[in-house]
Chain A
């Protein structure tokens, strides 16, 4: 028993290292720092770690590791606040949480949703640590069993979730996923670097970042919609069901939580898949295994428990490639490796062999940090949940400030804000015409992986087939491949099994005529046609095949939709239009006047730079739109602007400059970069 002879003494030593007042002190410090950074959308582990890295050099290794682990571990826990309370995906790990978490907030059940999410996170984190303790000793051969064909199959598994998330019209879901893939294909091709659909702009050359797409697709449509309602987030005046109910909800769904934690660990362990899809796989799985799917998207607590159980477990799983192979599974893990080097530890195979106690220290610090972090969050959640009872108009300037600042972290130019507005508009229309936004996001996230793995698997397999037919076959259909194929088939079957029983996502039957939905479908088809023409003009073959195929198939799908639209009556779900049914129809304020405010922030920033624009925006919005009196406006403006300044100062960030800064040199923070 290798475990008994190797792991137990090391584990013993690790606990002796962690359970000292200093180590625990630094761990808690890390957790608190991570919480403070993580609650802000778009700022995650990278920003937090950059904050502490300058102090890491020269620290006692165990204290330094505890602090860094504490910081990283709570990010997927703390980002839940924004996802559930405000409908803003705090990070890519909690995008799926928005789908049901935010509707629960709107129903006045924020505390319940948060508590369920945090307990799930806690459980996922602990589960991950326990699995890792045993697994890390034997993980190496298993991780190496995931070659390119197996990674491709995992990507396909991710895509199979589109079927479940597609909503009422499957074809619409497929076209939306294709649309997401083509937006994901913008920029340098992953294989040979050909330019695709960048129209000569360097901004597009790097493609859109996931943060901006996540905010644009999910946050902006919700914020705009709520602003049109002109009320608090929570429809109820009281907070409704309390946090104890959330914990009970979790316990009632403990098996779901365990299954999703397993999904999280497995996806995290495999390098190359990226964590941004794990919450969607978990969400899809949750839908597949729920008998009555009618409540998904409208406040189904299982839709919160599933993704949240998986995203913390993923962090634990992600330590395996990071520590075992020195390959970071995410940006924050990359910085984490950098911090480890400052402390004298180099991640890699020798780490497990020579420094097993330190490895276990990291694993169990992660578990401990999860307990402390989730505990703190549960403690704070009843208070923070009160945010949902505030008049929404007062929150809006803060939200616009936060998402703009978050988007700006992507490439630090004004174009980040323009991209946010552009993708936000797309998000608004997808929402309005009931095109499934999760499908778009899955397509976007998986586009480059699908492309690269398809191409790589083909190329390696051809070389193997040259060597011998059996060689090629055994490469493609390894035992691991066969397991994955079975999982995919089961997943699709589970999705299809209940699709007939699927209730309409919106209770809304019809409709406001055919015109608007048809115009939007035409616009999608036009974009796909442009994408297809652009892809055909790429000269390097390997950068061409994938976008031509995806754009071509999606375009055919869009054309079929148009034909169906021509033949169907107005009452068909094809013509779903949120402006005529559902809550937006009754909104007292129109879409464009509301969107105008957000665009005005962009225009002001383009003219005067972000900080000045923000001040003007706060005052104008609160007085004109919010009808607040001057003293309150002044206090709120000072609070908002002051806050973002402190954050930027601490994190050493600059702000988007405008036209003014072209002519006049201004000191920080007005100057920007």
Chain B
């Protein structure tokens, strides 16, 4: 391992790490998980997006880790995913046998100062960051008008949108549409984005959005039949932090482009800054894998290398495209950068969002 001599990244945690190394002594000289069982905590219930993502990676990770341990996904839902994350923060031992997978739904309460959050992303070691995107779509008749004149559709349509709640990932689409001047009535209380799509298919909702993987598998058949038409993506992030077209949907304009087209100028101001901050937290850094506070560098590096090996498998593109979409799966320094983007947000943006949630939807956090 070439990076064994890597400088400890968090000198302040050296002491804790030292203590942990004693615990992890057998694994010290050369990290091997032979005969071990690694628990991958997913703070969501079975069958959701994060669960599927973890179950996609689990067997590949087991293959790539030295000693080929058993990797089991352990679902620990509750309190909007803060329960599992709190548990990980307080109880997981830094021996590499417990890892955590989080999602945008874990990040948002953290960013918005939800009082239930008892964990700090800055404490943890990120070993994988998976990006995703989001696509908004309309029924065919509205989409046809939209193609001709979006402004007319914006002015003349009352939109209904099935939403999981304004404080969830849904705040990204809701704010984007509001910035465009669209009158969107969110119908709250659906249990997952799948229910929102069903509401759209039944003709009760006339606008919807799905994350990329769900769009590919569930909405594409509707698009092929001509029943649904994508109108905008949230975009993707390039290396310099600019919003560019989503690589999975290169033909669909981004929200930024649509805004520029409709309003005649690029978006700017506090609303845009806030939207951009929460978009980045919610999508380009949506799902991450963490090792607990104080994990020895050897173990962190072993995990980073294992995830790197997984994402560099020759067949990775082929096996992942259907289930994850074409998005960066970052490890090492790139993952750290995504973590920063996703969990460090300008306090002004946070305040703006909190205020908006309160005024627009009457929701007060904390």
Contacts and interface: CB of A to CB of B under 8 A. Distances in A.
B59 interface: yes
Interface stretch (A219-227, A538-546, A559-567, A631-639): A538-546
A192 B166 contact: yes
Interface stretch (A26-34, A293-301, A334-342, A499-507): A334-342
Interface stretch (B185-193, B260-268, B281-289, B337-345): B185-193
B188 A191 contact: yes
B112 to A, nearest CB: 12
Interface stretch (B76-84, B135-143, B302-310): B76-84
A156 interface: no
Contacts of A522: none
A148 B202 CA distance: 9
A188 B70 CA distance: 36
Interface string A325-368: 11110010111011001100010111001000000000000000
A459 B160 CA distance: 9
Interface string B82-106: 0100010001000000000000000
A348 B221 contact: yes
Contacts of B187: 456, 459-460
Contacts of B45: 331, 334
Interface stretch (B144-152, B291-299, B356-364): B356-364
B354 interface: no
A202 B322 contact: no
B357 to A, nearest CB: 10
Interface in A67-123: none
Contacts, number: 125
Interface residues of B, number: 50
A53 B56 CA distance: 11
Interface residues of A, number: 54
B18 interface: no
Interface of B is mostly: mixed
Residue from B39, B45, B59, B198 with most neighbouring chain A CB atoms (10 Å): B198
A87 B198 CA distance: 38
B167 A193 contact: yes
A335 B48 CA distance: 9
A188 B165 CA distance: 11
A660 interface: no
Contacts of A338: 46-47, 51-52, 55
B194 A327 contact: yes
Interface in A46-64: 46, 50, 53-54, 57-58
Contacts of A327: 194-195, 198
A46 B46 contact: yes
A196 to B, nearest CB: 14
Contacts of A205: 78-79, 116
A190 interface: yes
A259 to B, nearest CB: 28
A190, A272, A331, A338 interface centre (most CB from chain B within 10 Å): A338
A271 interface: yes
Nearest to B72: A652
A144 interface: yes
Interface string B45-65: 111100110011001000000
**Quick one: which of B55, B59, B221 has the most chain A CB within 10 A?**
B55
Given A206-B78, A452-B189, A460-B160, A325 B204 contact: no
Given A46-B46, A348-B221, A412 B185 contact: no
A411 B158 CA distance: 41
Which of the listed residues B167, B217, B364 has the most CB atoms from chain A within 10 Å of its own CB?
B217
Nearest to A475: B204
Contacts of A617: none
A57 B70 CA distance: 13
A147 interface: yes
A202 B189 contact: no
Given A54-B72, A331-B45, A463 B322 contact: no
A193 B362 CA distance: 11
A353 B70 CA distance: 37
Given A335-B47, A338-B47, A348-B221, A455 B189 contact: yes
Interface in B152-211: 158, 160, 165-167, 185, 187-190, 194-195, 198-199, 201-204
A463 B55 contact: no
Given A202-B116, A342-B55, A652-B72, A144 B202 contact: yes
Given A190-B189, A271-B198, A673-B87, A53 B55 contact: yes
B158 A348 contact: no
Contact of A459 (B185, B194, B221): B185
Given A331-B47, A335-B47, 19 more contacts: A57-B59, A144-B201, A144-B203, A146-B202, A148-B199, A191-B165, A192-B363, A202-B83, A327-B194, A327-B195, A334-B51, A338-B47, A338-B51, A348-B221, A455-B188, A460-B187, A467-B158, A652-B37, A652-B74
10 contacts: A192-B363, A271-B198, A348-B221, A349-B221, A350-B217, A459-B160, A460-B160, A463-B160, A540-B361, A652-B37
Interface of B: 37, 39, 45-48, 51-52, 55-56, 59, 70, 72, 74, 76, 78-80, 83, 87, 91, 116, 158, 160, 165-167, 185, 187-190, 194-195, 198-199, 201-204, 217-218, 221-222, 322-323, 361-364
Instruction: For the complex of A and B, list the 8 residue pairs with the smallest distance between their C-beta atoms, beginning with the closest.
Output: A334-B47, A452-B189, A191-B189, A191-B188, A349-B221, A335-B46, A327-B194, A57-B59
